[in-house]
């Protein structure tokens, strides 16, 4: 599926936003940049390189949501129409711009609606940009794209299956995580801190709502008994071993 837009906010936390229509400030320059950005989004699905060629500065840099850094030529080369069976659109949902002379830093979120072989998909992107006015014309110098993560849909498991996850787990030293089952809800947390509800993505994969980067993946021995779990984030695992009760 074709890479669409998104942006991570590693941006400048500057003074209050100027010229942001989303905050009730009418500003012609902000409106101009927003229109330029929407035109660039409209050019993604058809692979319109000309729109991007006109907007990008000669030494522009684009960082996509997978962390791939591309110069101007590399970005334009990979910009192609959506493949057969796919169609979609990107629309700006929120927009803010900060200005300092001929420099503008922009953050906007974009909603994507895509029809992929008859199935409707929705995604949201966070975009961070640097624009500069060169000889009276605004040019795009930097784009950083980030796909906004969201929680997966939770599924139900029988109460007996949920109760299996309850226990005390050690990450080594004084690192302890406790999972409790009260007959209705799984909760987990560190001792002395408020426990968070745990949801099931699929069997043996749990998550905490609002933490879409992390999954708790449970491990079992040959007899099917849970021996521990890993907290997995961006492919890196924090390992937890289940503390067995005496005589168990």
pTM attached to this predicted model: 0.81
Structural domain contains residue 120: yes
What confidence category does residue 26 fall into, taking pLDDT thresholds of 50, 70 and 90? Answer: low
Residues 115 and 180 in one domain: no
In a 10 Å sphere around its CB, with 0-12 CB exposed, 13-18 middle and 19+ buried, how is residue 30 labelled?
buried
| pLDDT tens digit sequence for 166-201 | 999 999 999 999 999 999 999 999 999 999 999 999
Structural domain contains residue 71: yes
Summary mean pLDDT of the chain: 90
**How far, in Å, CA of 56 to CA of 49, rounded?**
10
Residues 171 and 105 in one domain: no
Residues 123 and 171 in one domain: no
Residues 58 and 87 in one domain: yes
**How far, in Å, CA of 100 to CA of 225, rounded?**
61
Structure tokens at 150: 């969201």
At residue 11, the pLDDT reads 35
Range of the domain at 203: 159-242
At residue 246, the pLDDT reads 56
At residue 24, the pLDDT reads 44
Residues 25 and 135 in one domain: yes
């Amino acid at each position: 599926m074709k890479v669409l837009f998104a942006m991570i906010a590693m941006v400048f936390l500057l003074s209050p936003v100027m010229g942001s229509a989303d905050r009730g400030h009418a500003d012609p320059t902000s409106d101009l940049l927003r229109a330029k950005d929407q035109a660039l989004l409209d050019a993604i699905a058809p692979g319109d390189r000309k729109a991007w060629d006109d907007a990008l500065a000669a030494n522009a840099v684009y960082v996509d949501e997978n962390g791939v850094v591309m110069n101007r030529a590399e970005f334009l080369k990979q910009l192609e129409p959506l493949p057969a069976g796919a169609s979609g659109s990107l629309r700006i949902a929120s927009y803010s711009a900060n200005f300092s002379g001929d420099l503008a830093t922009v953050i906007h979120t974009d909603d994507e609606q895509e029809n992929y072989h008859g199935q409707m998909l929705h995604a949201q992107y966070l975009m961070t940009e640097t624009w500069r006015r060169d000889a009276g014309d605004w040019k795009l110098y930097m784009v950083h794209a980030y796909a906004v993560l969201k929680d997966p849909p939770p599924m139900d498991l029988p109460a007996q299956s949920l109760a299996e996850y309850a226990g005390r787990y050690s990450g080594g030293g004084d690192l302890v995580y406790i999972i409790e089952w009260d007959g209705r809800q799984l909760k987990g947390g560190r001792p002395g801190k408020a426990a968070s509800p745990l949801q099931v993505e699929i069997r043996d994969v749990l998550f905490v709502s609002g933490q879409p980067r992390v999954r708790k993946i449970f491990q079992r021995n040959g007899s099917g008994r849970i021996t521990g779990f890993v907290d997995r984030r961006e492919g890196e695992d924090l390992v937890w071993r289940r503390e067995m009760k005496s005589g168990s």
